Structure 1
Amino acid sequence: MAGKCHLVSVVWALLVLTIFHIPINVNAGEGVPMVALFTFGDSYYDAGNKVYLLTEKKNPPQTLWPYGKSRDDPNGKFSDGHIVPDFISDFMAIPDGIPPALKPGANLSRGASFAVADASILGAPAESVSLLTLKKQVWIYLEDIDFLGLFKLNPKDLKLL
């Protein structure tokens, strides 16, 4: 059993590293390519998606002080300030970082975070509304990318998920 858990951890780490090292170029018009960053994961990468999944709580803890105290901005991140994708988006010169993908009206053309706190790779015995597995995160990503028209999805490829 320990071997399977270790293998899942290695596959998860490789997936996250691969996503970060393969930026997507989006045509910005006028022949200038833009870089987009899309992230998946759990609370380490959650840019505020958990806030939009919690319907029973009006003010989840990550929207209140001391979260974000170094920026005077409690914005739903499980962090005092920046999270890993924020540093990477700064390095990639993406202005204003990447928004949570579940935020209504979020501009996904420069990337988005599909990560949600409490996410898992395999799911939970009793999955809740607020739990998005990696499979669900990728599914939402594929739907959003198809909506943006960045590339066409093949229905056969979607069945693999």
Structure 2
Amino acid sequence: MGTKSFIFVACVLLLISLTLSAQAADEKGLGASFIFGDSLVDAGNNNYLPTLSKANIPPNGIDFKASRGNPTGRYTNGRTIGDIVGEELGQTHYAVPFLAPNSTGKAILYGVNYASGGGGILNATGRIFVNRLGMDIQIDYFNITRKQFDKLLGPSKAKEYIMKKSIFSVTVGSNDFLNNYLLPVLSIGARISQSPDAFVDDMIKHLREQLTRLYQLDARKFVISNVGPIGCIPYQKTINQITKDQCVDLPNKLAVQYNGRLKDLLAELNDNLPGSTFLYANVYDLVSDLITNYEKYGFSTASKACCGNGGQFAGIIPCGPTSSMCSERSSHVFWDPYHPSEAANLVLGKKLIDGDQRYISPMNLRQLRDL
């Protein structure tokens, strides 16, 4: 065989092997990432609502490369945990916010983000912000997306794409405590008539209905985050005037109580909804470990907000143009009084993707994707 023929054959073989490996990667890759929840994963839905909870002001997003450092409505300095997980699992585009004008056509094949700052499991949660999307409305919106998938791909392909290749992530519950049950003014009626047990019962009952409804719309692969140690956020530390190594007891006790019930709920759904896989993401222990051992992870503080004002931990006034901002953003576990920094989100995201059963069970996110 002449040199030219040999080179031609080699090129053809290389092309075939590249095509096959691209197809294999596509077979294994994540289809759509559907993200539900609150400000921990909101990618800009609240920009389109008349609400008091917004993050589309600088310096939010200062490290978000895709927007060249401009605010996008993410409540952090860079990527949310939802962005990081999608990226690490092979997605080339971030899930588009449902309310954004570009959430149409083929853009939705990478996924859609329905999360909303201030949103919760219960419809009354977040009333203090005037407007927000609670879980019931977020699922109503997914129902619209579901019909768009049928039009884009045809009913049978759409069903397969959503059931087998897509992941549904739900990060919700914190606001039900912080901006509902624990709010002294708005929730006084509820607190007189509802014990913590009854309130958690209510949350679990609603979440069961919401997750079952997503299952009826062909969702099969789920990851549900528990509520983190909300008594350890700079806001709670500041208003309760505690030291940097302390956390506020009541919010954490409520979170632990809810998390135990959530774990049981997901086991029940795994048993009762054929073909479904519900992962329990143990964010409470993950974040607790990060806060306790922050130096081990390369952080210099786990108590002070990088961007905020008020009190010892800059924990009262949310991040905005007039806030003081730290110079080393990646050295802070918390970006603002409530939300983790991108550096913290990276640590958390990687443990959910490839971590062990202490942090995500019964399998991790990479295994769920490849299921």
Determine if the TM-score, normalized by the shorter chain, exceeds 0.5. yes
8 Å Cα contact 2:95/2:113 also seen in 1: yes
Change over 3 Å in CA distance of 1:146–1:129 after alignment to 2: farther
Q: TM-score if structure 1 supplies the norm length?
A: 0.65
Query: Is 1:77 paired with 2:74?
Result: yes
Which residue does 2:193 correspond to in 1?
none
| Greater Cα offset, 33-42 or 125-134 | 125-134
Query: Is 1:48 paired with 2:41?
Result: no
Query: Is 1:137 paired with 2:127?
Result: no
1:27-66 deviations in Å (ceiling 9; x for gaps): xxx9954611001000001010000122x78xx8522211
Runs of 5+ consecutive residues of structure 1 not aligned to the other structure: 1-29, 152-156
8 Å Cα contact 1:50/1:76 also seen in 2: yes
Taking CA–CA contacts closer than 8 Å with sequence separation of 6 or more, which of the two structures ends up with the larger relative contact order? Answer: 1
Change over 3 Å in CA distance of 1:140–1:81 after alignment to 2: same
Q: Larger helix proportion, structure 1 or 2?
A: 2
- Quick one: which amino acid aligns to residue 136 of structure 2? K
Which residue does 1:118 correspond to in 2?
118
1:61-90 deviations in Å (ceiling 9; x for gaps): 522211011231211111110101111011
- Quick one: which amino acid aligns to residue 137 of structure 2? K
Shift of the alpha carbon at 1:129? 6.7
- Quick one: which amino acid aligns to residue 58 of structure 2? W
| Greater Cα offset, 35-44 or 130-139 | 130-139
Shift of the alpha carbon at 1:119? 0.3
Alignment length (residue pairs): 124
User: 1 CA distance for matches of 2:126 and 2:74?
Assistant: 25
Q: Secondary structure at the match of 1:63?
A: coil
Greater C-alpha Rg: 2
Query: Is 1:39 paired with 2:29?
Result: no
Tell me which stretches of 4 or more aligned residues in structure 1 moved more than 4 Å: 30-34, 125-129
Shift of the alpha carbon at 1:110? 0.8
Structure 2 counterpart of 1:62, from 33, 55, 60: 55
Q: Secondary structure at the match of 2:124?
A: coil
8 Å Cα contact 1:98/1:111 also seen in 2: yes
Query: Is 1:105 paired with 2:111?
Result: no
Runs of 5+ consecutive residues of structure 2 not aligned to the other structure: 1-22, 151-157, 160-212, 217-371
8 Å Cα contact 1:35/1:92 also seen in 2: no
Q: Kindly report the root-mean-square deviation, in angstroms, between the aligned alpha carbons of the 2 structures.
A: 3.1
Q: Kindly, what percent of the aligned residue pairs are identical?
A: 25
- Quick one: which amino acid aligns to residue 63 of structure 2? S
Q: Secondary structure at the match of 1:38?
A: strand
8 Å Cα contact 1:99/1:112 also seen in 2: yes
Change over 3 Å in CA distance of 1:96–1:36 after alignment to 2: same
Change over 3 Å in CA distance of 1:125–1:94 after alignment to 2: closer
